[in-house]
């Protein structure tokens, strides 16, 4: 885990907090251009997409943070192929989002909290499935504790 990855995961966490304050499942996503080198400063890359879950507010089952951030990145890039990018998300992508990430050819996917019940990677193995033509590099557990905490707190309050 690098300071670069932590910087953008913190940004994704701020998006997750926005979702929670809106009564949405607290997931946030940020998509950035791949840095020129591994010692690059976060300020040296362009942010292509930033979003949080809005399924309730938009009354749209597909309005997950990743889907909304991908749409933004497609528009900014003017291309549906997101080569040379990194996607940061606070919770492991679901199967729908994992499929969209594969189709968009995102080369690096970074998440904080794994989802052992519905994860597109840990449960459904979409990112490594032999039948697909793109296999992103996965980085798990970046700022895992705060990513898990925001989810636990949201659902703790929801159960009250």
91-113 as b/e, with b when 16 or more CB fall inside 10 Å? Answer: bbbbeebbbbbbebbbbbbbbbb
What is the bridge-based pairing of β-strands 47-52 and 28-33?
antiparallel
The sign one gets for the Cα dihedral 100, 102, 108, 111 is: positive
Residues known to be catalytic = 66
């Amino acid at each position: 885990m690098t300071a670069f990855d932590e910087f953008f995961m913190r940004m994704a966490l701020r998006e997750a907090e926005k979702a929670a304050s809106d009564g949405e499942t607290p997931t946030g996503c940020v998509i950035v251009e791949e840095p020129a080198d591994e010692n690059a400063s976060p300020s040296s890359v362009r942010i292509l997409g930033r979003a949080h879950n809005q399924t309730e507010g938009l009354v749209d089952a597909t309005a997950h943070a990743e889907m909304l951030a991908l749409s933004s990145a497609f528009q900014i890039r003017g291309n549906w192929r997101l080569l040379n990018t990194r996607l940061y998300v606070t919770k492991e992508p679901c199967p729908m989002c994992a499929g969209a990430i594969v189709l968009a050819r995102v080369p690096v996917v970074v998440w904080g909290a794994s989802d052992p019940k519905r994860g597109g990677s840990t449960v459904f193995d979409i990112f490594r499935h032999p039948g697909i033509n793109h296999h992103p590099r996965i980085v798990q557990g970046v700022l895992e504790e705060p990513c898990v905490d925001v989810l636990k707190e949201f659902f703790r309050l929801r159960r009250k």
